[in-house]
Amino acid sequence: MPKYFDPHIHMLCRTTDDYQNMAAAGILGVIEPAFWQGQARTCVGSFVDYFDTLLGWERFRASMFGIHHFSAIGLNPKEANSPSIAAEVLDILPRYLGRDGVVAVGEIGYDDITPEEDLFLARQLELAKQFNLPVLIHTPHRDKIGGTKRTLAVIREVGIAEHMVIIDHLNEVTLPLVLESDCWRGHSVYPNTKMSEQRMVALLQEYGTEKMVVNSAADWGISDPLKVPKTGQAMRDAGFTDAQVEQVLFHNAVDFFAQSGQMDKQIVSTPLAIDQRRQWQNNSALRGQEPVVE
Amino acid sequence: MNLENSLEIKHQALIDLQEYFIKHLEHALLPWWQQALDQIQQTPDIHKVMQLSSQCKRYFNDDPTLSLYNNLVWSPLRLARLLLLTQALIQQPVDTQQTFLHQAFAWVDDQEKISILKVINWLDNSGCCLDLVQQAGRTSNSQLFAAIALNNAYPMHHYTERAFHQLILKALSMSLEIQHMVGLAEHRGPVLNQLALELLEEQLAADRAISDDLIHLVAFSLLTSAQRKYLEDLCLQRRLAPIWQDHLVKVRGSERLIVS
């Protein structure tokens, strides 16, 4: 079975069954970018608790099922539109960007493409430069072409090295725009919207595998945490070799985020040894089960 | 008194709404309603509004039976809650009304937010709550979003061109009936044409069905010749519904008339 890595998934929204199924399907590690909680946050404390949970409890929970867990920390595009809270969030970001397991600034970018989103995207790109961290950029659902062009323009204005940036949720019309840059290319394979396995395969056939990255972007909505291995199957069905599958669905993602210095490819290439006797702040994911110890 | 940030409430519209509500109120409920209004008059603060609002459910049903001249449908419960809140709002000193509305909006649930947004154009004629409305529009709750986007003149009066275009695109992505957007016709033009055609290109590239309402975004007479050629080619390839062809033919016809 090829090795898989899901570089964009919101595991805090998912169940322990998902972790078990992902591990069984060959997913060795995940990156969980900070994102919008489905409704507006009302104070900076909400972000503090969220970021701490990603780096604490959720990382521990993933380890209970043998999955390496890393985070991207940042202010979500939608949330940039509450300027007073957004400014406070930017003030607390430095305390997280150097923490263990933080491999990128993200997901940041555009939603409505407002002046506030412009400002906080640029400021977070500056922070990424300071911390020498990769950046995960979300492209908007509406005016996607305009938003992707604007994203590329801001990257150039700020002067961050393009090879440190991955632009995500690309599709048939936005991928060619990013191909003209040195940025990495992210694609979210979703049950209905964004991108399907078959369309992803078609893009790989047309544009090749270099810097191409695939994720599930699974969250609390209707989404599928097994879309990375399912894309692997679609690639094999279309004639891609196992080595090509692993290049796109493991190595590319790990190589990009390993630029953070926070991720050792050799370690991530091996399943995390499970020891379910461990606890996090006296809490366990077990509910009366016999702990698994490998 | 700082009038710069005052809401400029359309009082007559609220009076009409109140009269309409009372006209349709069951006779037995009038005493409760009157004492509730009296309480608000004596103590027009947010705590009193919340307390009385929570009691409304015991007295009023939530069936959408009240239909108003502005094409909005209400249940007695939702209208009662809104009227209690607006009664407290209009009793605030003018320079604190905006703060009161923000506070109330933060405290109420989504159904009450929807009620406020439906009449926001009456409550904030000056547009000083634009930020509140735009924040509310960042929701994924399509009913709440529809309260802003459909049958509501507020965005037309106060949104920037760019924000209005985003409103249209989001309404389209939520499959709302965008023909009910007030001001849509006035916002059609070259920029919206470009956005609509880019969305069309995306949907075609993804092999998705073209949104039925996408055509309502397009000002066919303002398409560039390249855009028109693009659409004509798609029609020839039968990738667009015949109605697109009809619009293109109509524009060509009216241009010939002008030339002759």
- CB contact (8 A) between residue B201 and residue A171: no
B135 and A142 in contact by Cβ < 8 A? no
CB-count burial class (<10 Å; 0-12, 13-18, 19+) for B127: middle
Q: Outline where A102-143 has alpha helix (H).
A: 115-131
> Is B182 a member of any domain?
no
Give the helix/strand (H/E) hosting A146.
Answer: helix A144-158
| Residue B23 identity (one-letter amino acid) | K
How confident is the prediction for chain B on average, in pLDDT? Answer: 92
Using DSSP bridges, classify how beta strands A165-167 and B66-67 pair: parallel, antiparallel or unpaired: unpaired
pLDDT in tens, A131-175: 999 999 999 999 999 999 999 999 999 999 999 999 999 999 999
Last residue of a domain, one of B125, B160, B175: B125
Asked if A293 is an interface residue toward chain B (Cβ–Cβ < 8 A), one would say: no
Q: Is B205 on the interface with A (CB under 8 A)?
A: yes
Q: Is residue B167 part of a domain?
A: no
Burial of B22 (0-12, 13-18, 19+ CB in 10 A): middle
pTM: 0.89
User: Which backbone phi and psi does A138 adopt, to 5 degrees?
Assistant: -85, 135
Instruction: Mark yes or no for CB contact A143/B198 under 8 Å.
Output: yes
Is the domain of B88 the same as that of B197? no
Rounded Cα distance between A116 and A225, Å, is 32
B166, B173, B194: which to substitute to probe chain A, counting the most A Cβ within 10 Å? Answer: B166
Q: Which of A81, A113, A146 sits opposite B135 (nearest CB)?
A: A81
What is the arithmetic mean of pLDDT over B207-225?
94
Residue B211 domain-assigned (yes or no): yes
In a domain? residue B31 = yes
Minimal Cβ distance to B205: which of A82, A143, A171: A171
Helix (H, G, I), strand (E, B) or coil at A98: coil
Q: Identify the pLDDT of residue B73.
A: 82
In a domain, B238, yes or no: yes
Helix (H) or strand (E) holding A241, with range, is none
pLDDT at B66: 80
Instruction: Tell me which of B125, B157, B173 is where a domain ends.
Output: B125
Please compute the mean of the pLDDT values over residues B174-196 and round it to a whole number: 96
- Name the residue range of residue B20's domain: 1-125
How many domains does chain B fold into? 2
Asked whether the predicted pLDDT for residue A117 surpasses 80, the reply is: yes
pLDDT recorded at residue A91? 97
**pLDDT tens per residue, range A5-46:** 999 999 999 999 999 999 999 999 999 999 999 888 999 999
HEC readout, chain B = CCCCCCCCCCHHHHHHHHHHHHHCCCHHHHHHHHHHHHHHHHCCCHHHHHHHHHHHHHHCCCCCCEECCCCCEECHHHHHHHHHHHHHHHCCCHHHHHHHHHHHHHHCCHHHHHHHHHCHHHHCCCCCCHHHHHHHCCCCCHHHHHHHHCCCCHHHHHCCHHHHHHHHHHHHHCCCCHHHCCCHHHHCCHHHHHHHHHHHHHHHHCCCCCCHHHHHHCCHHHCCHHHHHHHHHHHHCCCCCHHHHHHHHHHHHHHHHHHC
Cis? peptide before A180, omega within 30° of 0: no
> Nearest CA to A142 among B142, B220, B198, B134?
B198
Distance CA A31, CA B27 (A): 62
CA gap B10, A289 in Å, rounded: 63
Q: Where among B125, B142, B162 does a domain terminate? A: B125
Q: What is the pLDDT of residues B39-81, one digit of tens each?
A: 999 999 999 999 999 999 999 999 888 877 566 788 999 999 9
Q: Tell me the Cα Rg of chain B.
A: 23
Question: Are B11 and B117 part of one and the same domain?
Answer: yes
Query: From CA A42, how far away is CA A62, in angstroms rounded?
Result: 28
Are B118 and B6 found together in one domain?
yes
> Are B5 and B92 part of one and the same domain?
yes
Domains, chain A, with CATH or none? 4-261 (3.20.20.140)
- Is B163 among the domain residues? no
- Here the ipTM equals 0.85
CB-based contact (8 Å) between A149 and chain B? no
Q: Determine the Cα–Cα distance for residues A65 and A62; give it in Å rounded to an integer.
A: 6
CA dihedral B80, B74, B172, B249 (to 10 degrees): -140
Is position B130 within any domain?
no
B118 and B25 share one domain: yes
How far apart are alpha carbons A110 and B100 in whole angstroms?
31
Distance CA A220, CA A224 (A): 10
**Does residue A64 or residue A288 have the better pLDDT?**
A64
Whether residue B228 lies inside any domain: the answer is: yes
